[in-house]
Amino acid sequence: MNESVTVSAPLMPMVVGHLARLQTGLDFINTLDLWPVSHDHLDSPTSAFDWLVDHDLMHREARIHLLAQYEASPAVGVEMLSRLRRVRQAMRGVLEAAATRRAPDPSDLADINRALRTHYIYELVPATDGVSLDHRHQGDPVDGAIARLAEALARELIQGDTTRLRICENPQCHWVFKDTSRTGKRKWCSMSSCGNRAKVARHRARQKTQSPSPL
């Protein structure tokens, strides 16, 4: 998989101050909740920006500024939401392809590559043991956030262990996660929700087969 995925992200420094973590990219994909209640956390510009601010992908000032802008022209806000959702869908598509050892859909890759095509300014910043390379985004703050989310996943596809990328086995849930367990056999996004649900279902099935059916 690592060889066949050629997400073009040549300007990815290894030590950077504000790159998004993989977990943030996965959380972003999981903002489309299906279970136990179906809810899209990106259902309005306000909630989408709340999510981005909470995940350190956007400054509060940018949020205030953009929301005021959308108030004046709501169509721009709608367009921004569809851009976010399109990248989210593409990230899920590419991750699912990696998790199931399939070649990614070219249109998903095209969406991610478009997201990665953004203007960065590279700069050296002081670090405890010398300097580290940081980068700042110039231009639309949403594009900057999208680029960092796509970058988090792209980095993992190239440098990480893609065999550990998983889709929750609860078919109604579909959350994506990285299996960091020692055994590498984790099946559910969370043992307490989906894992427990599977356990209860198994238990019920066993009881049914064991107890004689009432006649």
Chain-centre distance for alpha carbon 13: 20
**Minimal distance, residue 30 CB to Zn ion, in Å:** 9
**Minimal distance, residue 168 CB to Zn ion, in Å:** 3
DSSP secondary structure of 25-53 = HHHHHTTEE-SSS-EETTSSHHHHHHHHH
Contacts with Zn ion by CB under 5 A lie at 168, 170, 173, 175, 189, 194
**Minimal distance, residue 118 CB to Zn ion, in Å:** 32
Complex with Zn ion: residue 44 or 190, whichever CB lies closer: 190
DSSP secondary structure of 51-112 = HHHHTTSS-HHHHHHHHHHHHH-HHHHHHHHHHHHHHHHHHHHHHHHHHTT-PPPHHHHHHH
**Minimal distance, residue 88 CB to Zn ion, in Å:** 17
The length of the chain, given as a count of residues: 215
**Minimal distance, residue 63 CB to Zn ion, in Å:** 30
Complex with Zn ion: residue 81 or 194, whichever CB lies closer: 194
Complex with Zn ion: residue 88 or 155, whichever CB lies closer: 88
Query: Which run of H or of E encompasses 122?
Result: strand 120-127
Q: Phi-psi category of 87—alpha, beta or left, where left has phi over 0 and alpha has psi -120 to 50? A: alpha
Chain-centre distance for alpha carbon 72: 30
Complex with Zn ion: residue 9 or 34, whichever CB lies closer: 34
Complex with Zn ion: residue 97 or 189, whichever CB lies closer: 189
Beta strand 165-167 with 39-40 is: unpaired
